[in-house]
Structure 1
Amino acid sequence: MESTLKMTENADFETLLAAVRQIATSVAAVHAKDVDTNARFPQETIAALKSAKVLSAPVPREFGGQGLGMKQLGALCAALSGACGSSGMVLAMHYIQVACIARHHADNAFFKRYLTEIVETQPLLASITSEVGTFGDTRSSICAVERKDGKFILNKQATTGSYCAHADAILVTCRRDESAPKSDQALVLVRKTDGTLTQTTTWDTMGMRGTCSPGFDLVSSGPEEQIMPVGFGDIAAQSMVPYSHILWSALWWGIANDAVVKASTYVRGEARKNPGTVPHTATRLAEVSVQLQAMKNNWQAIASEFDEIAAGPDAAEKLLGIGWALKMNNLKIGSSETAPQIVHKALQIVGILGYKNDSPFALSRHYRDTLSGSLMIQNDRIAGKSASMLLVFKDD
């Protein structure tokens, strides 16, 4: 029975991976330049992902989803991001929100029904964890959710809201109630019909332009049952942080990998011009391939470790531990700093053809997109937290 289930799960994954690769080639890559140039949402790619039932990949099989693990989800994000970094980031962020619901619904009737709805209708989920006045601290909220007559009322001023204007629902952090401290947070599902978004800033950025992440003022109200039954502190530590750092690392690797693929194609072309000789750029290619492989091995190993921990009886204890938190911080910092280094080396290999935006070897978008990594939950902030933890952590 277990062997049959494993074969079915692998078949589902291979089917989805093939679909994502096809979408990456025939849809995402075709529109990537326009998405980047005009800082517009990659609507064609997301529509194709919905049609192929890719958005429900993290939903457990008991609710009709594919129940894919972290390593498999990372592979999907990496495959898409090589063609369009913004599309890959949107998919990763959506998966993060779905995972939060799937792993923390606590047998809540509404959220169990909503997981089934995700499979049936493929809604795109976004999140709002930033807030004006918290200075980038996602584990702190000023706004509070109000419960009244079976409904919630939640208003929030967000500094960023990635693709929120294009999402079907948003998971929003807030204080548990008006008397709760800033760190006692709840997570609320706000459907598109539950409120209004008023854009407050622009999104004219260096990279990841298609994620469309300006600031918003949110005014919302809906059924009280849409408040997650588990506190955000546990959700963040056990799901949001690991899914974010691992899936982001996977997609940054996907972008870097595509840059190296372009460099490889260029080097092979140079070799064909002079049969029997090895281009000097081939040595640089060999060097960058080492770094690329190490980056891949790192995120895949940690993704596999997460899948193993998540399936065990003491998952909560391990995922809330200092050792795991340090591992997440190290992965995020390492991958976000390595990806642009790899793209830079690919650019040095390709030369001027990688620098020109109208070249088939163009690497400008890859470079700019990967530079965003160190700023997403800024590495200095993460390193500071790691420094504090290392003072008390004893590695067994």
Structure 2
Amino acid sequence: MTSTVDNAQSTPDVADTLGAVIDEVIRPQAASVDREGVFPRSGVDALGAAGLLGLASSTEVGGAGHGMRTVAEVVERLAAECGSTAMVVLMHYAATAVIEAHGPREVRAAIATGGHLTTLAFSEYGSRSHFWSPTGTATATDEDSVRLDARKSWVTSAGEATSYVWSSLPLSRDAGPMTLWLVPADSAGLTVTGSFDGLGLRGNGSRPMTADGLRIPSTAMMAADGAGLDTALGAVLPWFLVLNAAFCLGLADSAVAEAGRHLTATTLTHTGAALRDAPVTRRDLARLMIRTHALRAFLGDTLTALETGRDDAMLRVLQVKALAGETVAEVTDGAMQLCGGSAFRKELGLERRFRDSRAARVMAPTTDALYDFVGRVATGLPLLDEANR
């Protein structure tokens, strides 16, 4: 697992570099990415060229060596500008966590230098959001190769990534519940089998993929056969859940800021008063701000818990996406109501953030699943039933 503690170049350098990419590429294209539903290739390439796709990669292979806190700040700032780009990068960092721990050095180095985009391929038609229960198979064909067959239902950056961290049933049925593989994008038998025309995150390329007799070398296995669930829970889940919370925070914070600007700049001609002059309007804005600031504080505490190895770190990790998903849904909804009919115009940017925020509740682990996980941990039960492991 990549480190949760920052130990490399200074955060101000990252902030300045990211700011330049946002100003020059990502912000100007955010509306068209959403409107046309196109993958934000130019933004992703610019982030790679700036070294930001290698932010969580080890310095040993040429990466920046940053931990989760700085990476979360990057995802937050990207989400404030373009949710689709932020989700692509979020999934890249989550997959990088596995590759850093178990992937080949040449792929790690390619990610570190910004020339390799990776992503997770966990969700399947057969098990839907229960990522911990794969139905796709892996079959040894000889001593050196493996055949993969699966129908993946949602793969961010499908057809755009350079590699996929792929889950399957283990080779040996008594080895464990899941095995992980590093699947190159150019593998024969790997196809994108559908399009994506979503409510939000319209440019994140989240499309179904099929492996039909896909052949990979046996060395593509990451960790031991059957150990994929432990790897997913230990290496992937903290990064995925925390970065999802940062994604939600970026959307919520930008929605509140946009609402504040609108209320300040908009004047009623017949009274001469700005919208902000109404006490009820200020009260409602304050409530949205407080909810957003509370999420920021909780996310910060979660990162501190991970960085210091606190006993409640895993509980915080499970809680933070559930809190974030509900917070961003309520805050963006509140901002839409606060700004009235103006919020329905695309140029204000609120309706895009509102739509993008809906994904957090249903992206696995869903909010309901996380509530169950938190309740299980709080009452001394294992995270998953043995039947699901």
**1:344 maps onto 2:333 in alignment:** yes
Match of residue 225 from structure 1: 219
Partner of 1:333: 322
1:31 aligns with 2:13: no
Aligned position for 1:20: 18
How many residues in Structure 1 have an aligned counterpart in Structure 2? 368
1:369 Cα deviation from its structure 2 partner: 0.6
Q: Tell me how far apart the structure 2 counterparts of residues 7 and 31 of structure 1 sit (CA, whole Å).
A: 30
Structure-1 residue corresponding to 2:387: none
Q: Which residue identity is paired with 2:129?
A: G
Contact 2:98 2:231 in 1 (8 A): yes
In the alignment, does 2:343 pair up with 1:354? Answer: yes
Aligned counterpart, 1:385:
373
Q: Which residue of 240, 244, 254 corresponds with 2:240?
A: 244
Cα RMSD of the aligned pairs, angstroms, is: 2.5
Match of 2:38 among 37, 40, 44: 40
Deviations 1:142-179 (A, max 9, x none): 22323323223222211111112100011100122053
The residue number in structure 2 matching 1:50 is 48
Q: What SS does structure 1 have at the residue aligned with 2:203?
A: helix
* Distance (whole Å) between structure 1 residues aligned to residue 243 and residue 301 of structure 2: 12
* Partner of residue 124, structure 2: 131
- The TM-score normalised by the length of structure 2 is 0.87
Match of 1:216 among 203, 209, 220: 209
> Quick check: which one's helix share is greater?
1
| Equivalent-residue separation in structure 1 for 2:114 and 2:76 (angstroms) | 24
User: Displacement of 1:192 after TM fit?
Assistant: 1.6
Match of 1:298 in 2: 298
Deviates more, 1:154-163 or 1:263-272: 263-272
- Residue from 54, 66, 69 that aligns with 1:68: 66
Q: CA deviation at 1:268?
A: 2.6
Partner of 1:157: 151
- Residue 82 of structure 1 deviates from its aligned partner by 0.7
- 1:85 corresponds in structure 2 to 83
- Contact in 2 for aligned 1:133/1:142 (Cα 8 Å): yes
Alignment of 1:156-305 (within 5 A): 156-180=150-174, 183-219=176-212, 220-230=214-224, 231-270=227-266, 274=273, 278-280=277-279, 281-305=281-305
2:97 aligns with 99
Label 1:73 to 1:345 Cα distance change in 2 as closer, same or farther (>3 A): same
Counterpart contact for 1:165–1:197, Cα < 8 Å: no
| Runs (5+) with no aligned partner, structure 2 | 383-389
1:21–1:80 contact (8 Å) kept in structure 2? no
Offset, 1:324: 4.4
Identical aligned residues as a percent: 21
1:392 counterpart letter in structure 2: G
Is residue 2:360 matched to residue 1:367?
Answer: no
Query: Relative to structure 1, is the Cα distance of residues 260 and 9 closer, same or farther in structure 2, using a 3 angstrom cutoff?
Result: same
Structure 1 Cα separation of the partners of residues 114 and 380 of structure 2: 47
Structure 1 position 199, deviation (Å): 3.2
Change (3 A) 1:10 1:291: farther
Contact 2:305 2:316 in 1 (8 A): no
8 Å contact from structure 1 (residues 329, 382) kept in 2: yes
Structure 1 unmatched ranges of 5 or more? 1-5, 310-314
TM (norm. structure 1) is 0.85
Distance 2:301 2:373 in 1: 23
Distance in 1, matches of 2:143 and 2:381, equals 46
Distance 2:193 2:211 in 1: 10
CA positional deviation for 1:293: 0.7
Give SS of 2:147's match. Answer: strand
The answer as to whether partners of 2:53 and 2:114 remain within 8 angstroms in 1 is no
C-alpha contact 1:70 1:304 (8 A) present in aligned 2: no
